[in-house]
Amino acid sequence: MQSTTYLTLDKDVRQVSQLDIAAFAAQVSGGVLTAADATYDEARKVWNSTVDRRPALIARCLTDSDVQAGVRFAAAHRMLVSVRGGGHHIAGNAVAEGGLMLDMSGMRSIDIDAEKRTARVGAGALLGDFDRAAQAHGLATPLGINSTTGVAGLTLGGGFGWLTRRYGMSIDNLRSATVVTADGARRVASATSQPDLFWALRGGGGNFGVVTSFEFQLHPVGPELYSGLVVYPFAQARQVMRAWRDFTVDAPDELSVWAVLRKAPPLPFLPESVHGKEVVVLALVYSGSLDEGERAAAAVMKFGDPVGVAVGPTPYAGFQTAFDPLLTAGGRNYWKSNNFSKMSDAALDVVIASAAFLPGPECEIFIAQLGGAMARVRPTATAFAGRDAHYIMNLHGRWSDPQDDDKVRAWARRAFEEAAPHATGSGYVNFLTEDEAERVSASYGVNYARLQEVKQRFDPDNLLRMNLNIAPAAPPHRRVAI
């Protein structure tokens, strides 16, 4: 009888019989794919095309019981297991080489309770799915800025976007989560049920279980917000960036202004003379009244002499898709990220100097302005400890030719190292790459020891290790009677 080769947790190579695979497939609503299936190659693709891994099996989960069957199968065979929601994480941890992928991309249900202002969201839902469903009722919750990002991965790592300064992070708006833990049990975690697990899920990544659905608090938003882009010539970068920094220090919670340094794409409101040239882009969103948003935007337009302005009332769900063309699937991507409690003149000078040597037309440096409601949550209240990250910078290396791999990665690493002396030393786990395991403990700071204890309780064998891994705490030594 034929068998399939797979990789164990100990990196041993073993075989699983077709009989066992068939029995497993009978428990999974969407079936189980192997390399022999016609849809296998498409199913294993993720957003970052530098990730090219081949799972032994892909379980297409559509229900909680499918996920339970997958977790139990992996545990029984000590099989390396990964979890795919949106498949958008830069490190590509959704795909386990030689292992079992639990593909939950089909679990995209969204149930909005407009009266209670809550949403129940499946683990395969994308931000665009959620935004459209909630905005049909004039509601939203803080998420990211790219509509094709998966809700699950974004939330488990913390989650921030245009609404974070006003309403907190995605995890601050999480009311409960349904999760399958490493023992195959289905649990509901909330502030009153499994509170330690709930605490860890809010920022601890996929270390503690496979979350199958999320319940979020919603807020009245839009449907139109005052938002858009103000673009300045790179020659004015120092003046503009310092003015932006000074302005954001005292900005109201309703206003978010992010700085992006990149080569100008051929946007219709920009003159052809700047297309392909370095520029400073200030992207702003005001979540309060349109009149107040117009006044805030007017101030942003006075930081220098703009070469292009496109601001005004915009549907919130529409602006959530504004950056999608720059973040399409299939590109090669490598990121490095720094957290900052403040942006000093020296830090800004480093950023500008790095932007002067962008290694390609798709590369960029963006700095998210955070603070506000996010910063008013205690660092130990959730697993996410970086509440002092008033600014998060992402060095986004993006390119298409594999021959440019070394060049782009070297640029990102050099820029990261030069900015590091001005940063907090912690990181945002959703931006950490596959070669940054050493940054995990620093990113969780004061919460790391407690996270290890929760990991020991719910996943003592570290079955769920295809992530930015938190190792279980060493079990206490047993006392020997003498």
Q: Extract the runs of DSSP E, i.e. beta strands, from 287-428.
A: 308-315, 332-340, 364-369, 391-399
Domains of the chain with bracketed CATH: 3-103 (3.30.43.10), 110-220 (3.30.465.10), 224-433 (3.40.462.20)
Question: pTM for the whole thing?
Answer: 0.93
CB 424 within 8 A of CB 391: no
C-beta neighbour count of 108 within 10 angstroms: 19
Pairwise CA distance, residues 281 & 27, whole Å: 50
Distance of alpha carbon 455 from alpha carbon 300, whole angstroms: 45
Q: How confident is the model at residue 430 (pLDDT cuts 50, 70, 90)?
A: very high
Unique residue bearing structure tokens 């199968």: 73
Please state the φ and ψ torsions of residue 191, each to the nearest 5 degrees.
-65, -25
Residue 349 confidence class, pLDDT cut points 50, 70, 90 = very high
CA–CA distance, 220 with 275 (Å, rounded to integer): 38
Integer Cα distance of 177 and 187 in angstroms: 8
Query: Could you read off the pLDDT of 198-214 as tens digits, one per residue?
Result: 999 999 999 999 999 99
Beta-bridge mates of residue 395: 336, 365
What values do phi and psi take at 387, rounded to 5? -70, -15
Task: Return the pLDDT at 145.
Answer: 93
| Cα–Cα distance, 305 to 409 (Å, whole number) | 33
Q: Mean pLDDT, to the nearest integer, of 449-465? A: 97
